[in-house]
Amino acid sequence: MAANARPWYHAGIRAVAAVALCAVLAADHGLRAHALGSQQEEKTVSHHAAGTFDVKLTPQQPEAAMADTGISRMLLEKQFHGDLEGTSLGQMLAFGGPAKGSGGYVAIERVTGALGGRTGSFALQHSGTMRPGALQLSIAVVPDSGTGDLAGLAGSMSFVIEGGKHSYTFEYTLPGGK
């Protein structure tokens, strides 16, 4: 194996280990879900939220081992307005390809505030890829991350960026008719 390929080899091993850990956690979750299956399921109600948000990205220094990989890390801060009123803090990892306008990112952010008049917090997980003229983005509520009145929250969010303005739509459910 070429000397310059070793970091990618070790990254591959770490990726396989991460996938294996996810499989173990998923299997454990499946067992717990089966054990709880006899309990009565709560009614869920679907909701739609929309509004705008302001975002601030603050570049962070890469760890020494990551300095020459092309992967950047940023702190993420947002202020949401509209049906979701609140703030979020998170981190983003991104990679820009050699072609202008191509790249990908992943992020996790913790949102705190009021959604449809209910207060609490929840986490959003992002995965996005882009190339000139095309963006694929998935933003989902992390399961079981809701707190307060937002406990049991599930759903997905979409972003639109036009003319430098950011807006969102959020399709979500809450248990118990909330």
For 105, phi then psi, to 5°, come to: -150, 155
Chain segment 10-30, per-residue pLDDT in tens: 334 343 333 333 333 444 444
Architecture of domain 43-175: Beta Barrel (2.40)
Q: Where are the domains of the chain?
A: 1-41, 43-175
Measure the CA–CA gap between 125 and 145, rounded to whole angstroms. 11
Name the E strands within 132-175: 134-141, 154-162, 165-175
Chain segment 88-107, per-residue pLDDT in tens: 999 999 998 788 889 999 99
Helices (H) and strands (E) in the chain, counts: 1, 8
Supply the pLDDT for residue 37: 44
Q: Report pTM.
A: 0.74
C-alpha distances in Å from residue 112, one per residue of 5, 25, 35, 118, 148? 42, 26, 32, 11, 10
